């Protein structure tokens, strides 16, 4: 059974029963999702099987990474066909081959930089690759910075400081690069996505969103920004409608072009969210959304008991442009973030 959500060229069917995992694979929070060029889906989660690999039909392929991670947070696959896994629990970024062979580690486990020092890393959040192979890392929970590294892991530069002005951050939670080398940072608690050139010069920002957490960028010369917006957590606004959790798709000017939102607030129904933390697109334009529902449950539902199993992710199948009734101006590509948006 499917249910259609979104509008226009960004309309989706919710593939409610897509995943077919073996009984022994019990997922924790699906904090990161990445898709490779063969449309295999990588679920970076906080369970005993940290990296779970699935095919496009939802079939289980393998799992790896057992015992390596402290707190899974971000996953991305670059043009180098490697997967970059960001662990905000031990302050590292690790690069792996797609079959789980460690190729590079940036940061020393359990040795964070000083709080808000601007030096890598203090609870880093996500990683993205530029077209030239430079590695960008958002460093958000104990820092307010973005770090740039050479492909071999050499630190090249850092930028950012705490604040709300251009180039300042209040929890940089996600990061993506586009085909032109621009860098997009989900500045979560400033409710915006900031856009920089590859050297950290501020270019513009996208506003009109609520606590951007997950993020992906569609490819091409006129990209769109796909944002997973979190719900409000404060008692004063926790029940306020029309703030999330939801998925919003915005064009380069910041105009809202589509939204996946049941209008019922947070929940566990298909097409509904608790905490959309990771977004990835495959080559067909289908969208995968991972959640940290277990971690955020009490913040979203302080008066409700937490369900036993909350390793939650969903697949949204892109509806053909002709079916959606509008021309399709974009073509999605494999990867968890990457592409241009402004």
Inter-CA distances, 156 with 65, 123, 133, 198, 230, Å: 28, 19, 13, 11, 32
Instruction: Tell me the average pLDDT across 128-143.
Output: 96
Topology (CATH) of 2-324: Neuraminidase (2.120.10)
Token digits of residue 99: 């079959």
pLDDT single digits (tens) 25-77: 999 999 999 999 999 999 999 999 999 999 999 999 999 999 999 999 999 99
Local confidence band at 16 (pLDDT 50, 70, 90 cut-offs):
confident
Q: What pTM was computed for the model?
A: 0.93
User: How confident is the model at residue 223, as a pLDDT?
Assistant: 87
The pLDDT mean for the chain works out to: 91
Distance from chain centroid for Cα 269 = 21
Nearest to 285 by CA among 258, 326, 316: 316
pLDDT in tens, 182-198: 999 999 999 999 999 99
Token couple for 115: 């709080």
Tokens of 328: 């399709």
Identify the weakest region by mean pLDDT among 2-11, 14-23, 274-283. Answer: 2-11
pLDDT digits 0-9 by tens, 279-302: 999 999 999 999 999 999 999 999
Contact 115, 134 (CB under 8 A): no
Tokens representing 118 are 């601007």
What phi and psi values does residue 120 have, to the nearest 5 degrees?
Answer: -75, 145
pLDDT interval class at 3 (50, 70, 90): low
Query: 202-233, pLDDT tens digit by residue?
Result: 999 999 999 999 999 998 777 899 999 999 99
The per-residue DSSP string of 275-301 comes to -EEEEEE-TTS-EEEEE-HHHHHHHH-
Mind giving me the DSSP string for 195-264? EE-TTS-EEEEE-S-SSEEEEEE--SSS--EEEEEPPP-STTTTT-SSS-SEEEEE-TT--EEEEE--SS
Residue 323: pLDDT band with limits 50, 70, 90:
low
Question: Which stretches does DSSP call E strand in 123-198?
Answer: 124-129, 135-139, 145-149, 155-159, 161-162, 168-169, 172-177, 183-187, 192-196
Q: Name the CA dihedral angle for 256, 260, 261, 267, rounded to a multiple of 10 degrees.
A: -140
Instruction: Give me the pLDDT at residue 53, please.
Output: 98
Is pLDDT above 80 for 325? no
**Extents of the domains making up the chain:** 2-324
Q: Which pLDDT value is given to residue 10?
A: 95
Range of lowest pLDDT (96-100, 197-201, 337-341): 337-341
Determine the pLDDT at residue 264: 86
Structural contact between residues 30 and 43, judged by C-beta atoms closer than 8 angstroms: yes
Task: For residues 93 and 55, give the distance between their C-alpha atoms in angstroms, rounded to a whole number.
Answer: 25
Provide the pLDDT for residue 329.
46
Q: What is the pLDDT of residue 340?
A: 29
Read off the tokens for 84.
Answer: 């970059």
Q: Look up residue 188 and give its DSSP letter.
A: G
- Dump pLDDT digits (tens) for 91-126: 999 999 999 999 999 999 999 999 999 999 999 999
The pLDDT value recorded for residue 334 is 33
- How many CB atoms neighbour CB 165 within 10 A? 9
142-162 pLDDT per residue, tens = 999 999 999 999 999 999 999
Which of the residue ranges 160-169, 223-232, 261-270, 331-340 would you say has the lowest mean pLDDT? 331-340
CB 244 within 8 A of CB 231: yes
């Amino acid at each position: 059974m499917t249910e259609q959500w979104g509008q226009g060229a960004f309309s989706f069917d919710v593939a409610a029963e897509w995943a077919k995992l073996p009984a022994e694979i019990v997922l924790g929070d699906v904090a990161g999702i990445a898709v490779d060029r063969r449309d295999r889906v990588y679920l970076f989660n906080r369970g005993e099987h940290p990296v779970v690999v699935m095919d496009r039909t939802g079939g289980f392929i393998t799992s790896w990474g057992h015992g390596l991670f402290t707190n899974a947070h971000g996953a991305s696959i670059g043009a180098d066909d490697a997967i970059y896994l960001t662990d905000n629990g031990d302050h590292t970024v690790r690069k792996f081959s797609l079959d789980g062979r460690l190729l590079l580690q940036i940061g020393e486990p359990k040795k964070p930089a000083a709080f808000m020092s601007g030096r890598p890393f203090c609870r880093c959040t996500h990683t993205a690759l530029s077209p030239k192979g430079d590695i960008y890392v958002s460093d958000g929970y104990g820092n307010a910075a973005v770090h740039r590294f050479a492909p071999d892991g050499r630190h090249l530069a850092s930028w950012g400081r705490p604040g709300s002005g251009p180039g300042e951050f209040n929890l940089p939670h996600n990061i993506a690069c586009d085909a032109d080398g621009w860098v997009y940072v989900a500045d979560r608690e400033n409710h915006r996505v900031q856009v920089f050139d590859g050297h950290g010069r501020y270019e513009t920002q996208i506003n009109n969103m609520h606590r951007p957490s997950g993020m992906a960028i569609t490819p091409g010369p006129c990209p769109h920004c796909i944002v997973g917006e979190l719900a409000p957590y404060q008692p004063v606004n926790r029940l306020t409608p029309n703030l999330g959790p939801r998925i919003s798709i915005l064009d380069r000017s910041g105009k809202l072009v589509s939204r996946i939102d049941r209008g019922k607030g947070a929940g566990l129904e298909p097409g509904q969210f608790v905490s959309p933390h990771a977004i990835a697109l495959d080559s067909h334009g289908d969208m995968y959304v991972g959640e940290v529902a277990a971690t955020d449950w009490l913040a979203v539902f302080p008066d409700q008991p937490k369900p036993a199993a909350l390793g939650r992710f969903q697949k949204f199948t892109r509806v053909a442009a002709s079916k959606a009734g509008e021309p399709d101006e974009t073509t999605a590509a494999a990867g968890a973030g990457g592409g241009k948006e402004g």
